[in-house]
A = this chain, B = another copy of it.
Amino acid sequence: MAKKAVCIMSGGMDSTLAAYMLRAQGYEIVAVHFNYDQRTQQKELESFRAITARLGTGQTYEIDLDFFAAIGASALTDRSIDVPTGGIEAGVPVTYVPFRNGIFLSIAAAIAEKEGASVIGIGVVEEDSSGYPDCREAYIEAMQRAVNLGTRDETQLTIAMPLVHLKKEQIVAEALAYDVPLELTWSCYSDEAAACGVCDSCRLRLKGFELAGIPDPIPYRVKNGVS
């Protein structure tokens, strides 16, 4: 029986690369996607489906988490809070969704226990990214410990975060090396037809492509917002 990795895949560049890296290590990928009433939910779901069809996966899970709208407190899940477009600032941005990765990892852990997986894959980036507390290595390590204490003794899970110390230009370069279909990935926080080019996620992505010296294959409304 193939060893399995449950990969949390948003449809974005980072989590897609993480899944490709784990597949290259011989894991069967159990792909998990979350719809949490985020602004670009439909586009992210389409990206997830296109990417997993290309990647080739075992079981896939598309999980609806409607309650994020009731919690709100983030520009991604509360339409009354604007997504910032003026450039990346210090501190935790208003796009932070409270403990989103904690919720995602907990559900992934339940799926991993059910599937008999040994790895959970997540595309968190700490050093050159969003400023979200739930993307920090120390958090993921603590979460791994909690997951292993809170599941059956025979369930022993490693949370793989192969991108955590990469810069965005390294992620672009690695994505090319792993033949990741970058044209299928979506990172924009706010738009679904063409990426806005000015939200934090677009800025980080565009900066990565620019520094890697490679054109980004997805459409943008504007591309001059690179921070």
Contacts and interface: CB of A to CB of B under 8 A. Distances in A.
A8 interface: no
Nearest to A114: B73
Chain A contact residues (Cβ within 8 angstroms of B): what range?
Answer: 35 or more
A194 interface: no
Contacts of A96: 152
Nearest to A59: B70
- Chain B CB within 10 Å, residue with most, of A105, A147, A150, A151: A150
Contacts of A64: 66-67
- Please state the number of chain copies in the assembly: 2
Interface in A119-174: 133-134, 136, 138-139, 142-143, 145-147, 149-153
B139 A149 contact: yes
Contact of A147 (B66, B71, B99): B99
A63 B72 contact: no
A93 B66 CA distance: 30
Contacts of A114: 71-73, 98
Interface of A: 61, 63-67, 70-73, 92, 96-103, 105-107, 109-111, 113-114, 133-134, 136, 138-139, 142-143, 145-147, 149-153
